């Protein structure tokens, strides 16, 4: 009996390769979730002469304070996680890999940028 090539019968990538799935999302959580949130909070607290540049983040901060920043980050993270899981279920590699890789790269850039701005402002 040969394996079916029908994608609807195959297990999603996150079930077939759970270590890969968790590694991708731990990297995204570490850089985008923790790194960017912590560096943004530190930036806002310790370098008040430089303001947040992202208007969506500014609106969240103005409306809800730091909880707005965290809530916004969590919302983006959950949407991207949903896209990745959906892509895995559909057998779409791009939708599976793109969200955690994008969040990791964005998190690295934003964290690095925040730390650099704090470093040069002092």
Per-residue pLDDT reduced to its tens digit, 20-41: 999 999 999 999 999 999 999 9
* Model pLDDT, residue 2: 45
* Model pLDDT, residue 3: 45
Q: Is 70 exceeded by the pLDDT of residue 81?
A: yes
Classify each residue of 29-44 as buried b or exposed e, where b means 16 or more C-beta atoms within 10 Å of its C-beta. bbbbbebbbebbeebb
Q: Is 50 exceeded by the pLDDT of residue 84?
A: yes
* Model pLDDT, residue 25: 97
Closest CA to 66 of 31, 47, 42: 42
Question: Given pLDDT bands bounded at 50, 70 and 90, which one contains residue 8?
Answer: low
4 DSSP 8-state letter = P
Select the more confidently predicted residue: 109 or 4. 109
Question: Rounded CA gap, 100 and 76, in Å?
Answer: 11
* Model pLDDT, residue 50: 83
Instruction: Give residue 33's region: left, alpha or beta (phi > 0; psi -120 to 50).
Output: alpha
Select the more confidently predicted residue: 3 or 60. 60
Is 55 exposed, middle or buried (CB count within 10 Å of its CB: 0-12, 13-18, 19+)? exposed
Across the chain, mean pLDDT equals 90
Look up the pTM and report it. 0.85
């Amino acid at each position: 009996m040969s394996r079916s090539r029908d994608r609807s019968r195959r297990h999603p990538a996150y079930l077939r390769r759970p270590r890969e799935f968790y590694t991708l999302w731990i990297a995204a959580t570490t850089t985008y979730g923790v790194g960017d949130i912590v560096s943004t909070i530190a930036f806002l607290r310790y370098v008040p002469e430089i303001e947040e540049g992202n208007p969506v983040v500014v609106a969240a901060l103005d409306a809800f304070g730091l909880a707005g920043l965290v809530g916004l980050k969590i919302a983006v993270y959950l949407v991207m996680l949903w896209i990745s899981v959906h892509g895995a279920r559909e057998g779409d590699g791009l939708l599976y890999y793109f969200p955690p890789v994008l969040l990791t790269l964005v998190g690295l850039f934003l964290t690095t940028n925040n730390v650099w701005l704090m470093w040069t402002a002092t």
